[in-house]
Amino acid sequence: MTCVLYPGSFDPVHNGHIEMVQTAASLFSEVVVGTLMNPSKGGGLFTLEERMALLDECFAHLPNVRTTMFDGLVVNLAKDVGADFIIKGLRAVSDFESELQMAQTNQAISGMHTLFLPTASRRSFLASGLIREVARLGGDVSDMVPAPVFRELQKKSVS
């Protein structure tokens, strides 16, 4: 039984994240998807509660996936949920430097290790920040996000 924590901002969850969770669910017995604030990214578009509701809707069909949200250190959440490892996706070499630094910091303060999984190349350009920007300016992001997220992005842009 291996339980992994997949942490992220998920503001909003996009098809690259969906692929990561599906892959992790096929590799590990239990996957916890944890929404956390990224202190370097500011307030964001969706509240933590809204992000988690979308994650719940997107992963309802995967029995070994559960979701949670947390305000604090990711390593404390990892311990709370009983995770053996943290997992992170790597889209490109440009992700590696910051992800390695976070993994080493988390390992230094808690002993918790991070495993990296590569994103499929056809989805490696996806980024929540760009998706928010394109959606806000009226561009089509329907191929980049799951249907529930597309629905909620449309609501945000008309409100």
Catalytic residues: 17, 41, 91, 128
What's the order of all strands across the beta sheet hosting 30-36?
A: 65-70, 30-36, 3-8, 85-90, 114-118
What is the contact mask toward ligand PNS in residues 34 to 73, using x (rule: CB under 6 A)?
--x-x--x-------------------------------x
Distance CA 54, CA 110 (A): 30
Nearest distance from residue 122's CB to ligand PNS, in Å?
A: 20
Binding of ligand PNS by 124 (CB under 6 A) = no
Binding to ligand PNS by residue 74, rule CB under 6 A? yes
Residue 41: CB minimum distance to ligand PNS, A: 6
With contact defined as beta carbons under 8 Å apart, do 53 and 149 qualify? no
Q: Which of 4, 5, 8, 13 binds ligand PNS (CB under 6 A)?
A: 8
The half-sphere exposure of 34 on its side-chain side, counting CA atoms within 13 A, is 28
